[in-house]
Amino acid sequence: MNVSSPTSSQKPDSPEKTAAAASQANTITVLRPQHGLAALNLGDLWKYRELIYFMTLRDIQVRYKQTLLGAAWAVLQPVLQMVVFSMLFGGIAKISSDGLPYPLFNFAALLPWGLFSRAISDAGRSLVSNRNMITKIYFPRAVIPLASVLSGLVDFLIAFVVLACLLVYYHFMPGSNFKFVFSPALLALPLLLLLTLVTAMGVSLWFAAMNVIYRDVGYILPFITQLWFFITPVVYSSSEVTGNLRLLYMLNPMTGVVEGFRWALLGTAFSAGNWLIVSVVISVLVLASGWVYFRQMERRFADEI
C-alpha cells in the first residue's frame, strides 16, 4: 500500500477550503495490486508504536495467567533447566566449564539463550495464533512477532535478578574459585542483549511469515530450536570446538552472544570476540532479509492464514 500524506495532487482554490480540506482529507491512501518487491515501510511500524506497546503488554500480562505459580515460572524455568544441566553435564559428564562453578557458567548462558529460544518459538507461531486480528483489521503485521519477542524481556530481567543472586552467592561462598569483578565489560551487556533481540527478531520474521503459508513450520520449529541449542555453547564451552569446524561454528550469532555474556559477567576469555563483528553482520543480514521476506508475504497473510 502506498500512503502519501499530505497529498500533492490537491490544490484547493481558496483559503477557506484549505482548512476544510485539511481536516477531512489530509491523507490519501491508494490501494492497488502490489507487484514486485514490497516497500520496506518502516514508517508505518513507527506510526503503530503504541500498538507495539499494548501488544507487548498484553503478551506479558497473559503469559502466566491461569497458572498456579504465576510469574514464579519466570524464575523456575531457567533455574530448573540450570539444575538439570548442572547435574547432567557438570556432574555426570564432567564437561569443562572454563574453571568456573558449572551452575554459574551455565546460567549466564541460559539468560540470552532462554530469551532467544522463547522468542523464536512464540513469535514463530504468533501470526497464526492471532489470525482473527489479521483477517479483520489493518495494522503492520510485524507488530505481532515484534511484541512476542519484546515480551520475553520481562522474563529475561527476572532471570537476571536470579543470576545476580547466584553471582553474590558464589562470590562469598567459602572455598569458591569465583570472584566477581566489576569490569567495563559489563557495559557491553546491553549491546549483547540488543544483538540477541535483533537475531531473534530476524529469525522470527522468517518463521512467522512462513508459518502462515506452510504450517509445517510449527512442527519444524522445536527441532530447529533444539539443534540451535546444541550448536550454541550453552552447556559446554566454545573452547571445546576446534579445527575447521570452528570457523563454521562462529557464524552462529548466538555463539558470540553467549560467550560475550560469560565474558562480561564471569570474566572468561572471549575467544569469539574477534568474530563478534561477523555475528553482528550475520544477524543484521537475517533481520534485513527477514523483514524483506515478511513484507513480501504480508500481502498474502489475510487471504491465506
Partner 1 sequence: MSNKNTAQIAIRVENLGKSFKIGAAVSTQAASKYVSGYRTLRDDLADGLRRFRSGFSKDRQAEQAASTQFWALRGVSFDIQRGQVVGIVGRNGAGKSTLLKILSRVSDPTEGRAEIHGRVGALLEVGTGFHPELTGRENVFLNGAILGMRRTEIQRKFDEIVEFAEVAQFVDTPVKRYSSGMYLRLAFAVAAHLEPEILVVDEVLAVGDAEFQRKCIGKMSDVAQQGRTVLFVSHNMSAILRLTEETIVLERGKLAFRAPTNQAVDYYMSSGMAETADRKWLPEEIPASAAPFTPLALRVRDPHGLVVDSFRSLDPIQVEFEYRLDEPLTGLRTGIYLQTRMGEFVFTSFDTDSPEAFDKFSTRPAGIYRSHCTIPANLLNEGSFVLGVNASVYRIKRYFEDDKALSFNVDATGAPGKHWVEKRLGPLRPALDWQIERLD
Amino acid at 228: W
- Verify binding: residue 15, partner 1, rule CB under 8 A: no
Q: Which is nearer to partner 1, 10 or 176 (CB)?
A: 10
- Verify binding: residue 67, partner 1, rule CB under 8 A: no
Which residue in 19, 25, 39, 277 binds partner 1 (CB under 8 A)?
25
Applying CB under 8 A, which part among 6-14, 72-80, 112-120, 275-283 lies near partner 1? 6-14
Q: How far apart are CA 234 and CA 282, in angstroms?
A: 20
- Verify binding: residue 41, partner 1, rule CB under 8 A: no
For the record, the C-alpha cell of 224 comes out as 530447529
Amino acid at 260: G
Residue 14: how many other CB atoms lie within 10 Å:
8
Q: How far apart are CA 22 and CA 43, in angstroms?
A: 21
Q: Which is nearer to partner 1, 45 or 111 (CB)?
A: 45
Q: Which is nearer to partner 1, 20 or 245 (CB)?
A: 20
b/e code 156-178 from CB counts within 10 Å (16+ = b): bebbbebbeebbeebeeeeeeeb
Amino acid at 284: V
CA distances 60 to 121, 157, 200, 207, Å, are 15, 13, 17, 21
Smallest separation, CB 136 to partner 1 (Å): 5
Give residue for cell 490519501.
Answer: 28
- Contacts with partner 1, 122-161, as mask; x by CB under 8 A: --------x-xxxxxxxx----------------------
- Verify binding: residue 68, partner 1, rule CB under 8 A: no
- Verify binding: residue 8, partner 1, rule CB under 8 A: no
- Verify binding: residue 6, partner 1, rule CB under 8 A: no
- Contacts with partner 1, 172-211, as mask; x by CB under 8 A: ----------------------------------------
Torsion of CA 59, 60, 66, 70, to 10 degrees: 160
Radius of gyration of the chain (CA): 23
With CB under 8 A, what is the number of residues at the site for partner 1? 49
Q: Which is nearer to partner 1, 171 or 215 (CB)?
A: 215
Give residue for cell 485539511.
Answer: 22
- Verify binding: residue 24, partner 1, rule CB under 8 A: yes
Q: Are 122 and 178 in contact (CB under 8 A)?
A: no
Q: Which is nearer to partner 1, 13 or 184 (CB)?
A: 13
- Verify binding: residue 16, partner 1, rule CB under 8 A: no
Judged by DSSP in three states, 4 sits in strand
Which residue in 91, 216, 245, 285 binds partner 1 (CB under 8 A)?
216
Q: Are 90 and 97 in contact (CB under 8 A)?
A: yes
Q: Which is nearer to partner 1, 156 or 301 (CB)?
A: 301
Q: Are 96 and 239 in contact (CB under 8 A)?
A: yes
Give residue for cell 522474563.
Answer: 155
Smallest separation, CB 192 to partner 1 (Å): 31
- List residues binding partner 1 (CB under 8 A): 1, 9-13, 17, 20-21, 24-34, 50-51, 53-55, 57-58, 61-62, 65-66, 130, 132-139, 213-216, 299, 302-305
